[in-house]
């Protein structure tokens, strides 16, 4: 139970698989256009009703060069 953003037990989130799929697609789409470098000083986690970062997660976001046209 170190990582439980979707809860656990009989009331565990029924949308977990969908959420993972959506998040993966979103991140891959963003990663094509932007480079995201997280600050190495991760603030830890704050376990509350949901698991969240313990503080701000600073990151450097830079635009990638436009991909070459296909064809
Ligand atoms: C990043 C996305 C999501 C997170 C972090 C999240 C998180 C959670 C959490 C923490 C719970 C409570 C679990 C518990 O009580 O132990 C929950 C319940 C629930 N979630 Fe999600 N959820 C997400 C996305 C979704 C999506 C996409 C759907 C539906 C398409 C969904 C539907 C539900 C439902 C219906 C419940 C109530 C389940 C029950 O009480 O039996 N969630 N979710």
Residue 15 lies in a domain: no
Residue range of the domain that includes 58: 35-64
When divided into structural domains, the chain yields a total of 1
Residue 60 lies in a domain: yes
Residue 56 lies in a domain: yes
Residue 53 lies in a domain: yes
In this prediction, residue 30 carries a pLDDT of 93
In this prediction, residue 42 carries a pLDDT of 79
In this prediction, residue 68 carries a pLDDT of 82
In this prediction, residue 15 carries a pLDDT of 97
CA of 68 to the centre of ligand 1 (A): 40
Residue 55 lies in a domain: yes
Nearest CA to ligand 1 atom 1: 19
In this prediction, residue 7 carries a pLDDT of 86
In this prediction, residue 26 carries a pLDDT of 96
Could you tell me the pTM of the whole model? 0.80
* Averaged pLDDT, groups of 10, the chain, 71 residues long: 83 96 96 90 83 88 88 78
DSSP sequence for 27-54: HHHHHHHEEEEE-S----EEESSSEEES
SS3 content of the chain, % helix, strand, coil (to 5): 30, 25, 50
Residue 26 lies in a domain: no
Nearest CA to ligand 1 atom 30: 15
């Amino acid at each position: 139970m170190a990582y439980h953003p979707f809860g656990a037990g009989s009331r565990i989130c029924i949308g977990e698989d969908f959420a993972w799929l959506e998040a993966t697609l979103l991140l891959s789409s963003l990663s094509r256009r932007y480079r995201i470098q997280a600050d190495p000083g991760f603030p830890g986690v704050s376990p509350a009703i949901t698991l969240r970062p313990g503080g701000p997660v600073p990151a450097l976001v830079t635009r990638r060069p436009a991909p070459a046209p296909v064809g």
